[in-house]
Amino acid sequence: MSDANSGRAPPKRVTIKDVAKAADVSPMTVSNVINGKHQFVSERTRKAVEREIARLNYRVQHSARSLRVARRRSVGMIFVDDAPSFLADHFNAHVVAGLCNVLSAADHTVTVQGIRADHFNQSSIIRNFAVDGFCVVLSGLPDERSAILDSLINLDQPLVLIQEPIASPNEETCIVRQDDAAGGRLLADHLAARRVDSVLVVVPSQNWPAIDQRVAGLREGFQAAGGNVRIDVVQAKTEDFDSARAAVTTYLDHHPLPDAIVGGNDRFAIAAMSILLDRGIPVPDRVKITGFNGFEQRRYARPLVTTVISSAYELGERAGEVLLTRFEKGRFPTRELVLPVYFESGETT
């Protein structure tokens, strides 16, 4: 996106006056639109001004931007997710908690909204939200994510993408993610050291880039460890406990018992373990189990599942911090932040 003008002569810096002339309004009106003073501007005028701002690629200068920030002090947290229960996902809930903590302490509000991918462009959050920036968690196939990302970039607002595997497309976008692939490699090392020859990986239906990276890291790790490990991946119908149980049951009914079951997250690991315990199969003596995330709910199940500790809360905190830096200094401190994950041994391996 940042190379869109690369074929042309470098244009001189576009000013508020250029936008005002193009939209046939006064510079004050453009300033009102930029500074969020929408009560002084009709909707039609605002849209015309925003159109010209986008067309001319006008960039707000720092002083103007900070004026605007002083007015709103609000961030929109968007989950693009097909499941309306996106907040019941522990990973998402921890990201929100971290983000809200950092921004509340800096006297900013956070507005949380879930949007279905196919409703994204009609969604009122895109049109109406008076925020200084967005923090977004995308799900879905790469093509869908890419289309939504284009819409978000076109808003020309500071944008933090959580757990997105792509490179930051421009200086107004900052990626904040954790090293899920490294987590997969840590689990592979641990299992390979225990002479595991066959692994069943159980993942949720919805396309989460983070889960893909965990599985890719697992494959890399086993490959690096040598040996000849058979890895089967099954996808559950949804993301819930019963659907993970159903996927594991179907697999076990038609395949020999694997040496290990790797859950895409702790919920899936615990669901798999519950099937094994129901069938009297000893864990970890006959089948080893690993999860991912290490949130509180993991501790409800016994034996305690070996896992990789996710930095979900810290992802939210870092997202809040880079946004605050962006608001205060006019630019993100970095285009990408990658947080570490930590192996945590339990009683299932």
List contacts with a copy of itself (CB under 8 A).
38-43, 46, 73-74, 84-85, 87-88, 90, 92-94, 96-97, 100-101, 104, 109-114, 116, 119, 123-125, 128, 130, 240-241, 267, 270, 274, 277, 296-302
Give the Cα separation of 290 and 262 in Å (integer): 5
Nearest to 299, CA basis, from 325, 270, 322, 320: 270
Give whichever of 181 and 262 is closer to a copy of itself, judged by the CB atom: 262
Give whichever of 219 and 245 is closer to a copy of itself, judged by the CB atom: 245
From the CB of 192, what's the least distance to a copy of itself, in Å? 28
In the numeric block, which tokens belong to residue 204? 């949720």
Report yes or no: 192 and 220 within 8 Å, Cβ to Cβ.
no
Max alpha carbon distance in the chain (Å)?
A: 77
From the CB of 18, what's the least distance to a copy of itself, in Å? 24
Burial state string for 43-78 with b = 16 or more CB within 10 A and e = fewer than 16: eebbebbbebbeebebebeeebbeebbeebebbbbb
Give the Cα separation of 10 and 63 in Å (integer): 24
Give whichever of 90 and 326 is closer to a copy of itself, judged by the CB atom: 90
Report yes or no: 281 and 289 within 8 Å, Cβ to Cβ.
no
- Residue 251 C-alpha from the chain's centroid: 30
Give whichever of 97 and 166 is closer to a copy of itself, judged by the CB atom: 97
Q: Is 42 left (phi over 0), alpha (psi -120 to 50) or beta?
A: beta
Give whichever of 119 and 194 is closer to a copy of itself, judged by the CB atom: 119
From the CB of 7, what's the least distance to a copy of itself, in Å? 38
From the CB of 277, what's the least distance to a copy of itself, in Å? 7
From the CB of 161, what's the least distance to a copy of itself, in Å? 20
Give whichever of 59 and 116 is closer to a copy of itself, judged by the CB atom: 116
In the numeric block, which tokens belong to residue 199? 């692994």
Give whichever of 26 and 57 is closer to a copy of itself, judged by the CB atom: 26
From the CB of 64, what's the least distance to a copy of itself, in Å? 20
For residue 73, give the 3-state DSSP assignment: coil
Give the Cα separation of 140 and 137 in Å (integer): 10
From the CB of 305, what's the least distance to a copy of itself, in Å? 10
Give whichever of 66 and 123 is closer to a copy of itself, judged by the CB atom: 123
Which contiguous run of DSSP H or E holds residue 203? strand 198-203
Give the Cα separation of 232 and 163 in Å (integer): 25
Give whichever of 169 and 291 is closer to a copy of itself, judged by the CB atom: 291
Distances (CA, A) of 144 to 117, 121, 138, 251, 309: 7, 12, 9, 30, 29
Please state, as a whole number, how many other Cβ atoms lie within 10 Å of the Cβ of residue 125: 16
From the CB of 248, what's the least distance to a copy of itself, in Å? 14
From the CB of 50, what's the least distance to a copy of itself, in Å? 13
Give the Cα separation of 247 and 191 in Å (integer): 22
